[in-house]
Structure 1
């Protein structure tokens, strides 16, 4: 179970984690979740110099804030959008 750190809202199940490696990642590591499931954590940097650790999911309960966009994606072939927790609006 993946929870929002700010409010505890259930965002996704561990079975929803989907490994999507990106050649644009600054680094990548495998972590182990509770229960022994392995997850690929990748580090990215946006044009403003902000760094983000990213885990990819097949689906998640999040609020999307504008239509998804393929430009500037860290995952070629995929689109992105800002996502927040639907309960507390914390940036995810």
Structure 2
């Protein structure tokens, strides 16, 4: 059974309406931490700093750091769609 163009558009808008907006940019990334790789969705924005989205439907976010704690940031382009970002934090005393 074929559905009309209007029905497709309505379904698409319903899906978009269910998505949460966080006021930042999301990235699908591989997080490297002490020889461990984790595939996560990263959120970068003014309200949440640098955070991991644990569950977007339940709005569960884990803040990894805020911008005040970043000492240095290095960006390395590895290929067309792959970049490596190293984030160095200030020392906590």
Question: What TM-score do the two structures reach when normalised by structure 1?
Answer: 0.29
Structure index of larger Rg: 2
Instruction: Select the structure with the greater relative contact order (CA < 8 A; seq sep ≥ 6).
Output: 1
**Higher strand residue share:** 2
**Higher helix residue share:** 2
Question: What TM-score do the two structures reach when normalised by structure 2?
Answer: 0.29
